[in-house]
Structure 1
Amino acid sequence: MMNIPVSHFHSWERFSESELAAMLGEFAEYGLRLISLNSGTCARLSEEAGYRAQLQRECRSAGMAVLNCHAPHMPGWELNSPDGAVLKRHLRLLDSYAELGCETVTVHAGTNDGGEPLTVLRERTARSLEALIRRAETLGMVIVLENTIFPTDTPAELLGYLKRFRCDAFGICFDAGHANLMDGTPGKRSADMIEWIRRRWNGEVRFEADTLGRLLPDVVSCHLHDNDGRDDRHWLPGEGAIDWRRLLARLERAPRLRSLQNESEHFKYGIAPRRIADCFEKLLEKNAVAV
């Protein structure tokens, strides 16, 4: 099938040094040798001196490598924040990502939770993206903007940023679970969606016809996780409503695709590395990709 590397998220920041060594060793035991750093892990990199060296040391010891990372996106880190200190923190972290070997850095445009006009939020995000892309270019990394569930990062919004900042150091992180939520299907109604998603849309969710179809030419990386079509569950692929055979066949045609990222919530659901390995072996066919 696809000869594309697969990296795996975990809540690495939640582990003590000895626990981290044990968990990385278990991932390695089942052949899961590429990892992604999640938003919480990246926030800890920003807050804790010496944590980068610890990650490097434990990964090296386990024979693991960091391939991707997800920049912090929680309150206080949003790219469309009016606080200039937020962008400075993101820019400082880019050097840490590069030192760890990250190829792609996933970012969110930011939410609309504050109720400000989309035009204002868009320009703030654009200013942040411009600075991040410029710095990533010098470090040999790619900033990838993710589709989530907000009016601020619909396919139309993401395509606007792509047009504005067209370069090799900028692309899309296609999130399969978010697309499953936001793509309309026959009979799907706004009322079917979980309340916290409806709230972001003032009660009436605007569904998309085909998120992947619009973004495919610029998809550089992907987040793979499953859900029931109404809430952002982050289940393992195959446990929800996504047609994975069709989705992966379409992703094979993405001309810029360079990595896949397993973004299932392993810590939350207590998913063991052996189960992850079994899932992705079946999903991507044995020995078809580096996992």
Structure 2
Amino acid sequence: MTDLPLLGAAMTVAELETLQDFILSRDRDLELQDFCIPGALDADWRPTAERARALLAGYQGRLGIHGPFWGLHIASADAEIRAVVSRRLMQGLEVCDYLGATQMVIHSPYITWDYNNLDNFAGRSAYRSVIDLTHQTLAEAVKRAEGIGVTMVIENIMDKDPDIRRTLAESFSSAAVAVSVDTGHAQYAHGSTGAPPVDYFIRRAGDTLHHVHLQDADGHADRHWAIGEGNIHWPAVFRALGELTSNPRLILELRDKSGILPSAAWLEARGLAC
């Protein structure tokens, strides 16, 4: 036995066919990514979900999905857009309910522009506006998520401020909304926009952190490289994770899924995770 944190992974159902043993052997956390592909929720997604159920027979790990996100801004000032985003998120939660998934990743409303401009107004009206618009978008989804035991985790995309999504998540006062940190996105923000390093994003999220996308990167782009291929300082990241009591899902989210097993081996060899 080991006290090292247990790694999970993100993949499609087709990729699960070849990585089934990795997931099932230790009931690792799994994030299915079929349902965020554009058009997936407009087609019949149930055969894909049924295949996932078959592959996961006997599975006792924590199952989640990546929710729809392409073109979906959760703090749009346009009511028509908010209605579309709300409908898509409700579709994602329908998938969660069907699969028995307990987590759905959604994307942050904050962009790099916000860091320099949210204070460019009297008082804190701009900060409040983003929170209020997000509440309007997510109101129905939060109620639904609470009813089916799903937590929507808000992932950093262009976020430069490591605190801002925690503040947003806490504003809901709901177990259905928490924080996600994507290590590669944080590294991009650190290297290209002057954000703090990745371990600061982890530490500042605190116990609102329920989900982590683990990917390596170079600070220039969203690489989704295997762990060890970029320049993220992984010992600092795992030290910060070790301070938490929220037990976040540690999801290897790599562009090339053949890097999942080597990434797990790389982290285990360094005594960081297994």
Q: How high is the TM-score relative to the length of structure 2?
A: 0.77
Aligned to 2:121: none
Please give the alpha-carbon distance, in whole angstroms, between the structure 1 residues aligned to 2:265 and 2:201.
Answer: 26
Please give the alpha-carbon distance, in whole angstroms, between the structure 2 residues aligned to 1:278 and 1:171.
Answer: 30
Matched residues, number: 251
Aligned to 1:98: 97
Aligned to 1:201: none
Aligned to 2:182: 175
Please give the alpha-carbon distance, in whole angstroms, between the structure 2 residues aligned to 1:172 and 1:57.
Answer: 29
- Larger deviation, residues 174-183 vs 40-49: 40-49
Task: Report the alpha carbon displacement of residue 228 of structure 1 after superposing the two structures with TM.
Answer: 0.7
Q: In structure 1, what residue type is equivalent to 2:96? A: Y
- Larger deviation, residues 109-118 vs 226-235: 109-118
Task: Report the alpha carbon displacement of residue 138 of structure 1 after superposing the two structures with TM.
Answer: 0.6
For the Cα contact (< 8 Å) 1:39–1:71, is it kept in 2?
A: no
For the Cα contact (< 8 Å) 1:4–1:289, is it kept in 2?
A: yes
Aligned to 1:56: 50
Aligned to 2:260: 276
Decide which of 207, 214, 220 is 1:224's aligned counterpart.
214
Question: Which residues of 2 match residues 247-286 of structure 1 at below 5 A?
Answer: 247-266=237-256, 271-272=257-258, 275-284=259-268
Matched, 1:243 2:252: no
Task: Report the alpha carbon displacement of residue 251 of structure 1 after superposing the two structures with TM.
Answer: 0.6
For the Cα contact (< 8 Å) 1:32–1:277, is it kept in 2?
A: no
Q: Relative contact order: is structure 1 or structure 2 higher (C-alpha 8 Å, sep ≥ 6)?
A: 1
Q: How high is the TM-score relative to the length of structure 1?
A: 0.73
Q: In structure 1, what residue type is equivalent to 2:168? A: Y
Aligned to 2:23: 32
For the Cα contact (< 8 Å) 1:143–1:171, is it kept in 2?
A: yes
| Structure 1 residues 228 and 114: CA distance shift in structure 2, 3 A | closer
Cα deviation, 1:73-104, whole Å, max 9, x if unaligned, reads 111x2212322122122113202112212221
| Structure 1 residues 288 and 163: CA distance shift in structure 2, 3 A | closer
Please give the alpha-carbon distance, in whole angstroms, between the structure 2 residues aligned to 1:222 and 1:3.
Answer: 16
Q: In structure 2, what residue type is equivalent to 1:174? A: V
Aligned identity (percent) is: 20
Please give the alpha-carbon distance, in whole angstroms, between the structure 2 residues aligned to 1:147 and 1:113.
Answer: 11
For the Cα contact (< 8 Å) 1:28–1:63, is it kept in 2?
A: no
| Structure 1 residues 48 and 235: CA distance shift in structure 2, 3 A | same
- Larger deviation, residues 97-106 vs 205-214: 205-214
| Structure 1 residues 113 and 253: CA distance shift in structure 2, 3 A | closer
Question: Which residues of 2 match residues 40-189 of structure 1 at below 5 A?
Answer: 41=36, 43-49=38-44, 51-61=45-55, 63=57, 67-75=63-71, 77-81=72-76, 82=78, 83=81, 84-110=83-109, 112=111, 119=127, 120-150=129-159, 154-183=161-190
Task: Report the alpha carbon displacement of residue 55 of structure 1 after superposing the two structures with TM.
Answer: 2.8
Task: Report the alpha carbon displacement of residue 219 of structure 1 after superposing the two structures with TM.
Answer: 0.7
Please give the alpha-carbon distance, in whole angstroms, between the structure 1 residues aligned to 2:176 and 2:195.
Answer: 29
Cα deviation, 1:51-82, whole Å, max 9, x if unaligned, reads 2233322541465867121212111x221232
Gaps of 5+ in 2: 119-125
SS in 2 for 1:247: helix
Cα deviation, 1:160-198, whole Å, max 9, x if unaligned, reads 213311232221112111222223xxxx6xxxx3xxxxx
Please give the alpha-carbon distance, in whole angstroms, between the structure 2 residues aligned to 1:113 and 1:64.
Answer: 43
Kindly report the root-mean-square deviation, in angstroms, between the aligned alpha carbons of the 2 structures: 3.3
For the Cα contact (< 8 Å) 1:36–1:68, is it kept in 2?
A: yes
Matched, 1:207 2:195: yes
SS in 2 for 1:32: helix
Q: In structure 1, what residue type is equivalent to 2:167? A: G
SS in 1 for 2:221: coil
| Structure 1 residues 41 and 254: CA distance shift in structure 2, 3 A | same
Gaps of 5+ in 1: 14-19, 194-204
For the Cα contact (< 8 Å) 2:217–2:223, is it kept in 1?
A: yes
